[in-house]
Structure 1
C-alpha cells in the first residue's frame, strides 16, 4: 500500500511540474502575444499546448470543440464584410476576431502564430497591412524580445514570493574538507597573521570570486562554473576569528560528478537521520557501534561538554582524542537519553592509483595493502539484508576471476574486464562458530557503466588483515615502503603486531603507530600463510619491518577520526526569508541575475570543457529533477519554476537560428542594412538551427534516460 501511495504521489508531482513548465512557456508566449497586439500585428492563433486542438474560442463565434479555423474560413468566404478585429479608433466594430484561442492536447507550453511570421518557414510572408512584415523593425524587435522579458519578470516575481514566504536551504558552511583536496591545501590570501592554509569544518563561505554565497548550492555552482586551471578566491568567516579570511584554490574535477570543485562537504546537524530519511537505518547504526540509539536522536554532549553546534564539532572532538574513547550522550525524539562510548579510528595512509581514467584512493599501512573487501561502512544502501549476488558486508576476496587475493585496484580491473560476462568469486567469510569459511559465488558483471557486480568496496582499513600485493605506483610520490623488503605473498594473514593480536588492518596501523611513537627501529609481525580450500598450508612465522625516521613521521602524523562519517546526521538547513518586501525584491532580482549569468557561463564552460554535455539536462532530466523538487513542497516548486523560467529566457535569447535571439539578430541586420536577410540564407540558418537543437535535444534526452536507468 505504501508503495502505491508513493507512486501516486510521484505521479501527482510529475503532473504538477508538467503543468508548471507549461505555464512558464505560456507566459513566454503571452509576452509575444501582447506585444504583437500592441504593435498592430494580426495574431492568428494563441495556443496553450501543442498538437491536436481540444477546445477553442474566437470572439464572435464562441467556444468550439476542436478548432474554429475551418468554420471561420467558411464565414469569410460567405461574408466578405467579416475582416477581423477592428481598430477602436475607426469607430467600427467587426463581429468576429481574427484570433483563435486554443487549448491543445499536449499541455507542454504553447505558441503564438502571427500573420506573415513562421520561425520554421521564412517564406511564409504576407503583404497585408497588419502583417508581421509590415510592422516597423523596431516594433518587431519588441515583439520578439517580449517573451524573454515576460519570463524574466515572472521569474523575478516567483523569487520575490519565495523569499517572502521563506525557503529552507543548506547554509554555505563547510562540513568537512576531503583529504588532499584543493580546499584542504587552500592558500591564505588575506586574514589574521598566523592563519594556517586550508579551509576547515565550520567555516562559513560568504563569497566566491566576489559573488555572494547565500547557500551551499550557490558555492558549488560558483565553483563548478569557474574557469579550468584558474584559482578562485573563497572568502570565509571562521568561528572565533574577528575578521574574514580569504583563501585561494584551484578547483579540480570531482570524481563523483565530473564538475569542478574544491572538495568541501556540506555541513550537518547533530541529529541522526531517521527512517523517513533512509530506509533500513537501524542495522547501519548497529554496525557503527550505536546499538540502542534510536534514529533521529540528537547529540547533546560529548565528553561532558555541550558546546557543540554542527557535525564538524563532533569530528573535531574525535580528532583531538589521541585515540581515547569518546563518550557521547544522545537524546532520543521521545526525550530519553542514551550514552555510548565510541572508540576513534586512525586515518589510514592513502595513496592514489588511476583505473581507466578514474583516480581511486588506496588505504594502506606502510604499504601493507588489504585485499578487496565488501564494505561495511556507513552506507545506508548496503545492509546485511542486501546480499548483492550472494556477497555480504565484510567478505574478503580470495579470488576474483583469475586474480587471487586481489587488491582494490586489481579487483576493479578484473571486474571491468568481464563487463557483461559471468565471473567466479571466492570470498573469506566469518562463520557462525567464529572461524572463517571459503565461499564460492558465480556472479554476473553488469553492462552498467564500466561493469559492476553490485557491491560497495571498502576504502578504509576496517577490514580483515589479509594482504594483497602492494599496487604498483602507490609509492610513486615518495620513498619505497619499509615493507617492500619482506616477502609477503598475497593472501598472507597478519595475526599479531609486537605480540598483540590484531583483527583488522586498522589494528595493524594503530600498533605500528604505537611503535613509531615509542621510537622503535623495527616492528615484529606474526603472519600466517594464505588460506586455501584445504586450509592454511604452512606454519605462522615472524617477520620484522625496519622503521626509519620518515616512517615514524608518517605514522605519528596520522589523525584520529570518528568511526562514522557525518553523513549519518541530518544536513544543516537555514530559512532564507526576507525581513520586508523591499529585501525580497532585492534578493529576487539578485537571484534572477545570478542564474541568468550562470546559464551563459555554463555554455562558455561547455565549450571550454570544464562542463560536459552529460551535465546538461533535457526534458526528461528536468521532469525528473522537478518531480523530486515538487516533493519538497510548493515553495521549492516555485523556486524551481523560477529557475526554469530564467533558463528559458536565456536559452531563447541565445544568438541561434530558430530561437528568439537568432530572429532578433536578423531583425538587427534588417535595421542596419535596410533590407531583410535573404530568404535563402534564412532557410539555411533555420535548417542548421533545427539540426543543432534537435541534436542537443537527442543527446540530452539520451543522457537523461541513461542516468535514470543507471546505465
Structure 2
C-alpha cells in the first residue's frame, strides 16, 4: 500500500514536471522575444507562495504588496511605472496543485482570442517569427527533456521483456501460420514456438518484446507483418508473414503471443498461485525463487522444464530452487514436482470459433474450484474444492463452457449449482465488470465426466468438418462416472488414462483397433449402473499412447525473460540511443493517432491523466530507471499532442500564425472564437472519454 501511494505521488510530481518544463519553454522564449510576461506559475490553483523582484518572497500572492506600494494591480502598471517603483513585471508563484504550471503573457490567452493589446510588448504585437518561436518552444523543451530522460535511463540501463516467444495459442495468427521458408528449412508444423527469439520485424531489429507488441498493434489493418525468429536447432532465421487480428482482451491488433518466461517465480501476486504450487507438490517454494535444476538438468527458462517432465514417464521430478546469491540469507529448496498425465485437446465449434477442452476420447473432467483468490467478491460464496454441476443453463459444463458463461455475463449475479463435500448446493456468484469471479480453476480428478463431445474438429485450423469421437453413439450424459475399463477399476482421471493405455497395449502393438467394456454409473437417479462398449480405431489407440506428461506449473507463474538496454556507460552511445528512442516515440505517437482514425486502435485504449498516473505508479516497482524511461515516453506524447493542428493547443496557434504570415493579417476574431469553442469542445470530449476509461480501469 505504501509503495503504491509513493508511486502515485511520484507520478503526480513527474507529470507536473513535464508540464512545468513545457511552460518553461514558453516563458524563456517569451522573455527572449521581448514579450511582457506577467506570471510564471509552478502548479495550478491558489497561490501558496510567490516571489517578485522588488517585493521579495511572500506567502500567497505578491499582488497585495504591489497594490499597497503603487495603488494599482501589477497588470495595470506600465513598464515605466514598474521601473520607477523597482518592481518586476513577472510574479513567480508556487501553487497548491502539483500538476504543471502556466505562463501569462500580455495579449495572449489560449481560451480568449479577444485578449489582445496595443502595447508594443504584447504577444500580438511582436513579429510573427518570434511568436512562432514562443508557441513552439514548449514542444521543443518536451522533446529535449525526453532525449535527456532516455539518455539518463540508458546510461544506467533499463530492463525490458526480451523478444522471446512464450505461450502461443494455437488459434491465433502466431499459432496457425506456416513459416514462409518452411520448405527450405524442413519445418512441417505451423506457428511460432516457445523459446523462439524475434530478431527482426519488417526488417527492423527487435530489441524488446514491446517492439513486437507495438509493431503488431500499429500494423495497417489487413496488412501482414514480416517477423524473423531464431529457433533452436534451425541454422537460419525462420520467417513468418503474420496478419495481426484484434485481440479479444486488449482490443488492439495482435498476433497472439505472450513473452517468454524465465526460471524465476513472481513475487507480486504469489498468493494467487500458492494453491497450484501446493497441488504440484512444491508447496515449500517461496516467491521470487529460481528453478535452477530438474532431475539433474540445468534450467534457465520455463520452456526447458517441459522436456524433462515429459521424459519422466510420470515419476516426480526432483527440482532445485534457489534465491539470488546476493540475498541477505540465500535459500535453496529441493522439492519433488508432481507430474500429471497430459490429455487430448478436444476442439469443438465454440461461440468465438474453434475452442479447446481437455479430455480423452470425447470425455472431459468436470470443473473444480482450485482457489478462491484473495479479495474475490465470492470469498464467502465459493470454496476451494467446489465442483461445478450447473452454470448458465448447462449441466456439468466443460471448462471452456464455464469460462464462456462467466465471461459473457459481466456485472451480473450468476446462479450456480456446486458439489461441496458430496452435497449439492445452490449458490449465486458475483461476476465483476471484467467477466471474472475471482477464482482459479482446475480439473476434478474424480472420474466423472463433464458434458461429453460426440463430435470434434480436427484442430484449431480445421475447415469445420466434424469427426466422431470414440464415445459417439454411447449416449453418455454429463455427470456419468467411469468405474472400470476392461474390468480394471479406476478412481481418478489419471487412473482412467492409465487403464485405457494398459487395456489397449496389445492393440497398439498389433496396429489394430479394439473394443473395451466401459463400466459406468449414470447420473440420472434410478438408472442402474451398466456397461457400454467403447470402440477405438487404430489411430485413436495410437493417439492415446502418444500422450505425454506435464507438470502443474504454468508459464504465467514465472517472470518474463528480461534483457537490459544500456549504453554501457558510454555517454556518446547514450546520446545516440536517446535521440533514436525519441524519434521512434514521435513516429509511434503519430502512428497511434493514424490508427485511431483507421479504427485499429479503439477509443477505449486512450488514457488521461488519471490513467497515466495509475500506470506510472504500477511501473515504479520495475525500477527507477523504468520510471525515468516512462516519463520520457509521456514527454514525447505531450510534445506531439500539443503540436496537433487543434485550436487552443500550440499546434493550432502555430497554424494561425502561418495563416497570418501568408495572408498578412490574422484570422478574424469571429473565426478564432468559433475555432476556440470547437477546440474546447474537442478537448473536453477527449477529457471526458479518457477520464471515463481511466475510472473504469480502476473499478
Q: Fold match, TM over 0.5?
A: yes
Structure 1 pair 292/618, CA: closer, same or farther in 2 (3 Å)?
same
Structure 1 pair 488/33, CA: closer, same or farther in 2 (3 Å)?
same
2:54 is matched with which residue: 49, 57, 60? 60
Structure 1 pair 561/680, CA: closer, same or farther in 2 (3 Å)?
farther
1:646 is matched with which residue: 615, 636, 661? 636
Partner of 2:649: 659
Partner of 1:343: 339
- Report if aligned partners of 1:83, 1:94 keep a CA contact under 8 Å in 2: no
* Pairing 1:368–2:351 present: no
CA distance in 2, matches of 1:63, 1:303: 72
Q: CA deviation at 1:106?
A: 1.1
Structure 1 pair 442/567, CA: closer, same or farther in 2 (3 Å)?
closer
CA distance in 1, matches of 2:274, 2:400: 31
Structure 1 pair 291/107, CA: closer, same or farther in 2 (3 Å)?
closer
Partner of 2:467: 480
2:597 is matched with which residue: 588, 595, 607? 607
- Report if aligned partners of 1:374, 1:455 keep a CA contact under 8 Å in 2: no
Structure 1 pair 250/106, CA: closer, same or farther in 2 (3 Å)?
same
Q: CA deviation at 1:97?
A: 2.0
Structure 1 pair 445/596, CA: closer, same or farther in 2 (3 Å)?
same
Matches within 5 A, 1:450-489: 450=435, 453-458=437-442, 464-470=447-453, 477-482=464-469, 483-489=471-477
Matches within 5 A, 1:397-546: 397-400=388-391, 403-408=394-399, 411=402, 424-429=415-420, 431=421, 437-446=422-431, 448-450=433-435, 453-458=437-442, 464-470=447-453, 477-482=464-469, 483-505=471-493, 508=496, 515=504, 517=508, 519-524=511-516, 526-531=518-523, 537-546=526-535
Partner of 1:4: none
Partner of 1:3: none
Structure 1 pair 8/332, CA: closer, same or farther in 2 (3 Å)?
closer
1:677 is matched with which residue: 663, 667, 674? 667
- Report if aligned partners of 2:162, 2:209 keep a CA contact under 8 Å in 1: yes
- Report if aligned partners of 2:179, 2:238 keep a CA contact under 8 Å in 1: yes
Partner of 2:208: 215
SS at match of 1:448: coil
Q: CA deviation at 1:645?
A: 0.8
Structure 1 pair 384/17, CA: closer, same or farther in 2 (3 Å)?
closer
160-169 or 289-298, which moves further after superposition? Answer: 289-298
Q: What RMSD in Å do the two structures reach over aligned CA positions? A: 3.5
Structure 1 pair 550/107, CA: closer, same or farther in 2 (3 Å)?
same
Matches within 5 A, 1:213-362: 213-274=206-267, 278-279=270-271, 282-293=274-285, 295-306=287-298, 308-318=299-309, 321=311, 323-325=313-315, 327-333=317-323, 334=330, 336=332, 338=334, 340=336, 342-351=338-347, 354-355=350-351, 361-362=356-357
- Report if aligned partners of 1:233, 1:248 keep a CA contact under 8 Å in 2: yes
Deviation track 1:58-91 (CA, whole Å, cap 9, x = no partner) reads 212222322234554675666999633999xxxx
Partner of 1:637: 627
CA distance in 2, matches of 1:596, 1:507: 59
239-248 or 550-559, which moves further after superposition? Answer: 550-559
Structure 1 pair 340/79, CA: closer, same or farther in 2 (3 Å)?
closer
Partner of 1:566: 555
SS at match of 2:475: coil
CA distance in 1, matches of 2:512, 2:672: 81
- Report if aligned partners of 1:251, 1:261 keep a CA contact under 8 Å in 2: yes
Partner of 2:617: 627
Structure 1 pair 195/582, CA: closer, same or farther in 2 (3 Å)?
farther
Partner of 2:166: 175
Q: CA deviation at 1:391?
A: 2.4
Structure 1 pair 16/511, CA: closer, same or farther in 2 (3 Å)?
same
| Number of aligned positions between the proteins | 680
- Report if aligned partners of 1:208, 1:219 keep a CA contact under 8 Å in 2: yes
Partner of 1:19: 13
- Report if aligned partners of 2:363, 2:449 keep a CA contact under 8 Å in 1: no
CA distance in 1, matches of 2:497, 2:513: 16
Gaps of 5+ in 2: 324-329
Structure 1 pair 663/383, CA: closer, same or farther in 2 (3 Å)?
closer
SS at match of 1:374: strand
Structure 1 pair 386/676, CA: closer, same or farther in 2 (3 Å)?
closer
Partner of 2:39: 45
CA distance in 2, matches of 1:411, 1:602: 36
- Report if aligned partners of 1:346, 1:506 keep a CA contact under 8 Å in 2: no
Partner of 1:129: 120
Q: CA deviation at 1:563?
A: 3.0
CA distance in 1, matches of 2:624, 2:467: 59
Q: CA deviation at 1:456?
A: 3.9
Q: CA deviation at 1:229?
A: 2.5
Structure 1 pair 205/418, CA: closer, same or farther in 2 (3 Å)?
closer
- Report if aligned partners of 2:418, 2:427 keep a CA contact under 8 Å in 1: no
Q: CA deviation at 1:427?
A: 2.0
CA distance in 2, matches of 1:448, 1:471: 34
CA distance in 1, matches of 2:642, 2:73: 41
Q: CA deviation at 1:340?
A: 2.1
Alignment TM-score, normalising by the size of structure 2: 0.87
633-642 or 562-571, which moves further after superposition? Answer: 562-571
CA distance in 1, matches of 2:202, 2:409: 46
Structure 1 pair 369/314, CA: closer, same or farther in 2 (3 Å)?
closer
CA distance in 2, matches of 1:469, 1:79: 84
- Report if aligned partners of 2:343, 2:359 keep a CA contact under 8 Å in 1: no
SS at match of 2:172: coil
CA distance in 2, matches of 1:93, 1:243: 80
Partner of 2:78: 83
Structure 1 pair 9/419, CA: closer, same or farther in 2 (3 Å)?
closer
Partner of 2:327: none
Partner of 1:34: 28
SS at match of 1:175: coil
Q: CA deviation at 1:126?
A: 1.2
308-317 or 575-584, which moves further after superposition? Answer: 308-317
CA distance in 1, matches of 2:125, 2:243: 55
Q: CA deviation at 1:268?
A: 2.1
Structure 1 pair 228/549, CA: closer, same or farther in 2 (3 Å)?
farther
